[in-house]
Amino acid sequence: MNTLEVKGLSVWDEATGSAIVRDSSFVLRQGRCLAIVGESGSGKSMTCKAIMRLNRGTIRQSGRVLLNGEDIGELSEAEMRKRRGKNVCMIVQNGMAAFDPSRPVGVHLRETLRTHFGWGRSEAEGVLRVAMESVMLREPLELMNKYPHQLSGGMLQRVMIALALALRPDVIIADEPTTALDAISQYEVVEQFVRLREEMGCSLLFVSHDLGVVKKIADDVVVMKDGMIVESGSLEAVFGGSRHSYTQYLLSSRLTLSRHFQSIMEGGA
């Protein structure tokens, strides 16, 4: 079963006429992880925002986005707000930007759960405490009283993952969730996403330029270049037998970097 289907998605800037995403189509199957890879500016993040209908200003889009068979492009904005979070949840790359800096993080978490489930403070905090402990966040009630700037990037990412656990959506979209983190935090956050899939059985759309992370977490891969999908298939097919020259370039670049790093670690030139 396809949890998410994107059909002929195009995104453009009406003010300049420039195309950002061009005729993009892919499917995310139930319980699978689909990774979208490509360099900066390839259209990965704009694709995510288009799915969530979060593009603003002069950005326009066309095509169809089906969530569990429902064309969410035909929903009113009020109806779409009900789907965001509860049915499809997005975890952004900069955790600091996801929270109001003037309020403790717990305010955002409790309000989100109240909006979707009508839960009061004590019920919401009980669910959040369990979810936050499951992603290795200690003293969750104390943490919820802290402001975003008092938490590290890795902690904020885990707070967002904990919220996704509490919401239990059908689809989680993770847009470059490890980009702003150090190597240790990256590893920890990726492990949390692996756990998230195991615990919830949800479908995951994982956007990254880090092929090492993609290899660890993805089942299927879409490769984007200049707003277009140039290759797609299973992880094994794309990584093991890529046909497009751009995919081969990405893979060879990662291999070169890995060899250079290994040489440095071994004391080479």
Q: Residue 190 and residue 197: Cα distance in Å, rounded?
A: 11
**Positive or negative: CA dihedral 242, 243, 249, 250:** negative
Q: What angle do CA 38, 43, 47 make, to 5 degrees?
A: 115
Phi–psi pair at 179, nearest 5 degrees: -60, -45
pLDDT given for residue 231 in this prediction: 96
Q: What is the mean pLDDT of residues 221-239?
A: 96
pLDDT given for residue 260 in this prediction: 40
Q: Is the pLDDT of residue 267 over 70?
A: no
Return the minimum-mean-pLDDT range out of 97-111, 134-148, 173-187, 219-233: 173-187
Q: Is the pLDDT of residue 103 over 60?
A: yes
Q: Is the pLDDT of residue 192 over 90?
A: no
Kindly report the pTM of this predicted structure: 0.88
On whether the CB atoms of residues 65 and 6 are closer than 8 A, the answer is yes
Q: Is the pLDDT of residue 90 over 70?
A: yes
Q: What is the mean pLDDT of residues 150-164?
A: 90
Q: Residue 207 and residue 8: Cα distance in Å, rounded?
A: 19
Contacts of 7 (CB under 8 A, 6+ apart): 25, 63, 64, 65, 66
pLDDT given for residue 1 in this prediction: 77
Q: Residue 30 and residue 203: Cα distance in Å, rounded?
A: 5
Q: Residue 2 and residue 115: Cα distance in Å, rounded?
A: 27
Contacts of 67 (CB under 8 A, 6+ apart): 3, 4, 83, 87, 88, 170, 171
Length of the chain: 269
Q: Residue 132 and residue 104: Cα distance in Å, rounded?
A: 15
- Residue range 207-216, pLDDT digits in tens: 998 888 899 8
On whether the CB atoms of residues 60 and 11 are closer than 8 A, the answer is yes
Q: Residue 175 and residue 193: Cα distance in Å, rounded?
A: 12
pLDDT given for residue 264 in this prediction: 45
Q: Is the pLDDT of residue 204 over 50?
A: yes
* Residue found by looking up tokens 């420039």 in the block: 18
- Residue range 28-73, pLDDT digits in tens: 999 999 999 998 899 999 999 999 999 989 999 999 999 999 999 9
Q: How confident is the model at residue 15 (pLDDT cuts 50, 70, 90)?
A: very high
Q: What is the mean pLDDT of residues 121-127?
A: 95
- In the chain, the domains with their CATH numbers are 2-265 (3.40.50.300)
The per-residue pLDDT of the chain, averaged, comes to 89
Share of the chain above pLDDT 90, in %: 67
Q: Is the pLDDT of residue 262 over 50?
A: no
Return the minimum-mean-pLDDT range out of 123-132, 147-156, 182-191: 182-191
- Residue range 236-261, pLDDT digits in tens: 999 998 889 999 998 887 655 445 43
